Structures are given as structure tokens and as C-alpha cells.
Amino acid sequence: MTSSSDQAVGVDIGGTGVKAALVDVRTGELLSDRVKVPTPAGGEPDAIRDAVVGLVGMLEIDDETPIGVTFPAIVRHGRTMSAANVSKSWIGLEAERLFERALGRDIHFVNDADAAGFAEDHYGAAKDASGLVILTTLGTGIGGALIYNGTLIPNAELGHLELDGVGAETRASNKAREREELSWEDWAARLQRYYSHLEFLFSPDLFVVGGGVSKSSEKFLPLLQLTTPIVPAKLRNNAGIIGAAALARGV
């Protein structure tokens, strides 16, 4: 039986869906079914707030259960400083306070890639790693997270590093692969430049690659020649939920 002191709720807000679950933060396992609703059209703050309140209401929790919320934005001191695939109204918004008022409690508000990276470091592909772990999510863009000996270094916008005169995600994201109909080999050549650049800048001890395309990691990761080990993420679509919950509980 999991103690209530080991439980927290994770809410993961994305451009297409909002999902939540109760998590055992000792093990990183979900204690409830994952509940999900589509992200409200337009991605306006009040509509997403209401969606989150509705999802949390579907979970059987008490007033003391911590809640962590992820969001696709730079998050500084609870304020969203950017917005990806949601309304520009989020830029500069005191988002953490918005959710705290609606949920009637303190919450932990965090960038979505940061939450996923924290989860992979504590429960997933990087669980036994030490030193610097870099998680990258290859999707519509490229998200990034830096975790050093278990401590999250927030808001690493690694997809915006410049390569060939443009942001790296413009050429190396999974969306770029699909848009340009690149072969796995041609895409891997772009990823090689990207990860070699990260390796030079940060000298990490481990790369973890997430995003939906990580399910096909055997088609491109073996093509990369790096000094740093590079492995696929393990927690898949639950990583944001699990990381948000763990950070809310202060793991």
C-alpha cells in the first residue's frame, strides 16, 4: 500500500492534449488510470485552466496531495515566458498563480521537457546515471533538459541552438524528417551534427532521446558516432506526468 506521503498528481499540458494521473513518487508508477482531454482550441489560459481543474477532479485525491503541472514554455518563477502550440496570451503570464487559485492549493509549475528529463533521470533510462544527463525530445521541435547528479537545471532551450544558420530543430526535429521525407540515414546525418555540437558544448555523461520517434530508435541511434552513450527514453508519454508529480513532491 502506497503511503499518501509518497503520492502526487502530475498534469502534462501539450499542444494537442492535457493528461493527468496520480503517481507513486517512490517508484514512478501510475496509481490511477491516465485521464486525458483534448487541449482546448486556441489554447487560451482560462480554457486550459478549466480543463486541468476538470481532470484533477476526476482523480480521487485529498486536499493535501501535491500537484505538478508541465507546460510547453520557458517557465521562470512560475511565469510562462514563451508559448509553443498554444495562445500567445501565455507569454509573461503568472501561470503558476492562475492554476493555484483554480485548484485551491500550491502547485509546482515546470517546463514539459524538464519534467520528462527529471523523470527519465530518476525512474527511466538514466536512473543509474551520474554526472550530466541531457534529455532531448525529438518531435515537432526539439525539447531539452539538463540534469546534473539528480538536480534539474531548468529551461535549457537546446532545440534553439544554431546550426547552419538556423535553429537546430528547424533541420533536425522529427517534424523536419517527416516534412522533407528524409531517409533515416539522411536524418541521422543531421542528428550527428546536432549531438556532436551538444557533446562539444556540454561534455555530458549520457544522452537520453525521447519523443514519439524514440519508439523507432533502432533505425537511427545506431547510425550516430558519439563518445557519449546515447539511449532511448523508457517512460514514453508518461514521462511528463511522472516528472511533474515527483517535482511537486520534492523528490
pLDDT in tens, 107-161: 999 999 999 999 999 999 999 899 999 999 998 889 999 999 999 999 999 999 9
Rg (CA), the chain: 18
Q: What are phi and psi of 205, to 5 degrees?
A: -95, -20
pLDDT: which is higher, 231 or 60: 231
pLDDT in tens, 47-69: 999 999 999 999 989 989 999 99
Amino acid at position 81, single letter: M
Predicted pLDDT of residue 136: 96
Q: Which of 128, 147, 127 is closest to 136 using CA atoms?
A: 147
Q: Are 178 and 147 in contact (CB under 8 A)?
A: no
pLDDT in tens, 123-133: 999 998 999 99
pTM higher than 0.75 for the full model? Answer: yes
Cα 162 to chain centroid, rounded: 21
Tell me the pLDDT band of 99, cut-offs 50, 70 and 90.
very high
Dihedral (CA of 39, 41, 45, 50) sign: negative
Strands (E), the chain: 7-13, 17-24, 29-30, 35-38, 67-71, 75-76, 79-80, 108-111, 132-138, 142-148, 151-153, 162-163, 166-167, 206-210, 230-232
Q: Which residues contact 5 (CB under 8 A, 6 or more apart)?
A: none
Q: Which of 111, 155, 125, 150 is closest to 236 using CA atoms?
A: 125
Domains and CATH numbers, the chain: 4-114+238-249 (3.30.420.40), 127-233 (3.30.420.40)
Q: d(Cα 147, Cα 181) in Å, to the nearest integer?
A: 33
Q: Which of 93, 75, 88, 66 is closest to 11 using CA atoms?
A: 66
Predicted pLDDT of residue 5: 86
Q: d(Cα 242, Cα 101) in Å, to the nearest integer?
A: 23
The cell numbers describing 81, all together, are 515566458
Q: Are 239 and 116 in contact (CB under 8 A)?
A: yes
The cell numbers describing 4, all together, are 499518501
Q: Are 101 and 40 in contact (CB under 8 A)?
A: no
